[in-house]
Amino acid sequence: MAARVLALTLTCLASVFLGGGLLLAQTPGYCDLNPSEAACQGGGSGGDPGDPGEPDPEPEQNYHWGGWIEVGTCVDDNPQILRYLLWSDGTYVRPWELTSVPPGSVLGVDRVFQLVCTDLPEDDLWDALVEAIEALPPPVWESSPAEPGVTGLETWLWHSGTTTVGPVATTWTHPPSGIAYSLEGRAWTGAITWRMGDGATVRADATGYAAGAAVGGGDTAPAARHTYQTSSASAGRPSGYPVNLTLRWVGEWRWSAGAGWSAWQPMTSTVEVDTTTSFEVVQIVGDLRP
């Protein structure tokens, strides 16, 4: 995936006055720099940079890009990398030493460089996680009391299926720089929602992968609770209330270039899985006898 060169607004120093004199550009010639290449391509070895003239059969490459280094992270937590423009002897090229500005370059006070945010393939990780989610059995929920439920009695609800998947791993190489990245992704059920069929909705949430492992609850620690006030038959549901269970899956990912892992960062995509089943609710009426 192509790198995105950051748009930076800087002032180009075309010439610098020192002691009342003009410091002329020192570059013997200018050749077109392709940001995806290691060195400049084509051009002449002198003359007016606005007049290319006759190109040399084998143009001299007076400066070249150095190696890429990591300098931090971008606003989206993707890696930020940088490389400097160097003379043939390895010293930095200064902005005022150029007769023309290389394409895609950034002009700093002391040197010319490229600052790039890599665009790591988060979507590939998410697709792999979705495949793992879709391979799981359909969602299953349980209750206490088990069917039939009873009006006026709190019904405990929990989800007895899997609520985490991953981690999944892959590798990716940034095309211009050749830097290889290891990527990991994992997903969990961030929310479980029961629509109880009588107009009520109850929900359990999990913030983070660790909490997602326990969000489904259990028979001694339910994920959600609900009290029916009317039997399903009296509500016109002779086969039971249609209870819809929806699992909303979320994910996070991280990257490494060999010097430790980045912090986990949230994925932008989500996916929902749901199922609807009938749940009969009855009313128990006491009969007092002498």
Structural domain boundaries of the chain? 4-117, 122-282
What is the C-alpha separation between 104 and 113, in angstroms, rounded? 9
pLDDT in tens, 10-65: 222 222 222 222 222 333 344 444 444 444 443 333 334 444 445 444 444 588 88
Contact yes or no for 199/221 (Cβ under 8 A):
no
pLDDT number for residue 199: 96
Contact yes or no for 101/77 (Cβ under 8 A):
no
Low-confidence spans in the chain with pLDDT less than 70 = 1-61, 286-290
The DSSP H or E segment spanning 209 is helix 209-212
Beta bridge partners of 191: 205, 248
What is the C-alpha separation between 35 and 108, in angstroms, rounded? 17
What is the C-alpha separation between 74 and 70, in angstroms, rounded? 11
Beta bridge partners of 16: 23
The backbone torsions φ and ψ at residue 152, rounded to the nearest 5 degrees and listed phi first, read: 80, -5
- From the list 140, 153, 192, the residue with the least C-alpha distance to 281 is 153
- From the list 264, 253, 255, the residue with the least C-alpha distance to 123 is 253
What is the C-alpha separation between 212 and 163, in angstroms, rounded? 6
Q: Which amino acid is at 71?
A: V
pLDDT number for residue 270: 96
Q: Report the predicted TM-score, pTM, of the whole model to 2 decimal places.
A: 0.70
8-state DSSP, 17: E
- From the list 130, 161, 146, 152, the residue with the least C-alpha distance to 245 is 161
Bond into 167 cis (ω within 30): yes
- From the list 164, 235, 159, 162, the residue with the least C-alpha distance to 203 is 159
What is the C-alpha separation between 158 and 192, in angstroms, rounded? 9
Residues 6 or more apart whose CB falls under 8 angstroms from that of 257 comprise 70, 79, 179, 180, 181, 182
Alpha carbon 39 to its chain centroid, in Å, reads 32
Beta bridge partners of 282: 150
What the block records as the tokens of 40 is 């400049």
Contact yes or no for 120/183 (Cβ under 8 A):
yes
